[in-house]
Structure 1
Amino acid sequence: MTTSSKTLGDLFDSFEREAFRLETLDDYSKSGSVDAYHAFLAGQPQPDEYNAGWVEELRSHTENGKRVHRVHVLTRPLSDYLRFELGWGYRKNMTGGEEFFILDITEKPNPLENVPDFWLFDSASVAVMNYDGNGKYLGPEVLPSERTAEFMRYRDAALAHAEPFPEWWAKYGT
């Protein structure tokens, strides 16, 4: 699905300042961490090593002055998967320096209607994250540079309408 010679991995390896992610789905359970998700649903405690590889990668970026942040567009009540992702994933990833924001559209219109999930690196490269109708990850599509400005506008709108995750979680987390 890549339309560029660069891959998503290349973009992560080479970004210099900022990696931004927009998430729009309520359920990514078909895309990874299936065992952890089932453990969460069964009420088991979060294993210490959960997401350890990603947290290390985050730490390597953030300790070098790079920013990794994301906005998740969602509605309440949270799906079981979102309770897992925010409660286990986001809170764990914050220990590696990743920043999270929530764009809660429960009582307001979605300013990013029909915008796909994506990563934006250094305001220069975009990778759209493709999923099927059930939330199964199909792969990234690295877009041509002509599309970057469009996704910068999406990032800016997401951040303008979102609130920091810790504040949102204190109000609505379970």
Structure 2
Amino acid sequence: MMHQPPAWALDGSEWLTLEGFLEAFGEAWVRTECRFLKLECWQSYREADGVRSQEAFQTGDIALTRRLLEEEAIEDQPLRDEVRSRNLGFTRVRLLTYPLSDYLRYEMINFEVRSRLGERIEFFLPPSPVQNYFDFLLFDSHTALIHDYGSGPIGYQSGGWLTHARKTLNSLADIPADLRAHGERAWPLEDSPDRPRA
């Protein structure tokens, strides 16, 4: 089973449909005063149908992929403006294994575009197998949303779990701290994802 949340993370949580997950995100976001953190572990995700940038990447058109990703990133400018105006810490922590999956080669173009626009993204090779980790969102110390991507080889979200349990929130906050202390920091954006593999 890949990237499944352990029992301790789900203890006292509530499972939500995808619609409920998005609603809970909005409610937690409004209450957030200091920090938002997103941990991403899957090496391949299934995007929603009709994501033009991913379709362009799959056809090998890297120039079009980059242009479409830049357009998508510009559409998120109101979020970046809100993060700045509210003085929020907003961090994505991305776990990697090598060689990078095709999905991650696509994502690296996206990360490069978004990093240039000021988004903070940290990359780590984790100290234990990447499959031992799971995706979650942490809002200050009051709320966490844990993604339910099923158990297949490609993450496709069906919903997730909502928790306010103090012990769980503290343990989730310890994961990025442990990665920073014991993981290997990676700098994949230094190598152009546009460069074809040998």
Q: Same fold (TM over 0.5)?
A: yes
- 2:102 corresponds in structure 1 to 80
Map Cα deviations across residues 101-134 of structure 1 (whole Å, 9 max, x no partner). 11125xxx42765231001111332110111223
SS in 2 for 1:102: strand
TM-score when normalising by structure 2? 0.71
- 2:155 corresponds to 1:135: yes
SS in 1 for 2:114: helix
- 2:109 corresponds to 1:92: no
The root-mean-square deviation of aligned C-alpha atoms, in Å, is 2.8
Question: How is 1:29-68 mapped onto 2 (pairs within 5 angstroms)?
Answer: 29-31=46-48, 34-42=51-59, 43=61, 44-45=63-64, 46-47=67-68, 48-68=70-90
Letter in 2 for 1:81: Y
CA contact (8 A) 2:38 2:137 kept: yes
- The separation in 2 between residues aligned to 1:77 and 1:111, in whole angstroms, is 14
- 2:167 corresponds to 1:153: no
TM-score when normalising by structure 1? 0.80
- 1:103 corresponds in structure 2 to 124
Unaligned runs of 5+ in 1: none
SS in 2 for 1:51: helix
- The separation in 2 between residues aligned to 1:145 and 1:104, in whole angstroms, is 28
- 2:136 corresponds to 1:118: yes
- The separation in 2 between residues aligned to 1:78 and 1:94, in whole angstroms, is 19
- 2:11 corresponds in structure 1 to none
From the superposition, tell whether residues 59 and 97 of structure 1 become closer, same or farther in structure 2 (CA, over 3 Å): farther
CA contact (8 A) 1:18 1:68 kept: yes
From the superposition, tell whether residues 86 and 13 of structure 1 become closer, same or farther in structure 2 (CA, over 3 Å): farther
Cα shift at 1:95:
4.4
More helix by share: 2
- The separation in 1 between residues aligned to 2:48 and 2:175, in whole angstroms, is 24
From the superposition, tell whether residues 27 and 74 of structure 1 become closer, same or farther in structure 2 (CA, over 3 Å): same
CA contact (8 A) 1:30 1:137 kept: no
- 2:37 corresponds to 1:20: yes
Cα shift at 1:14:
2.3
- 2:29 corresponds to 1:7: no
CA contact (8 A) 1:19 1:121 kept: yes
% of aligned pairs identical? 23
Larger Rg: 2
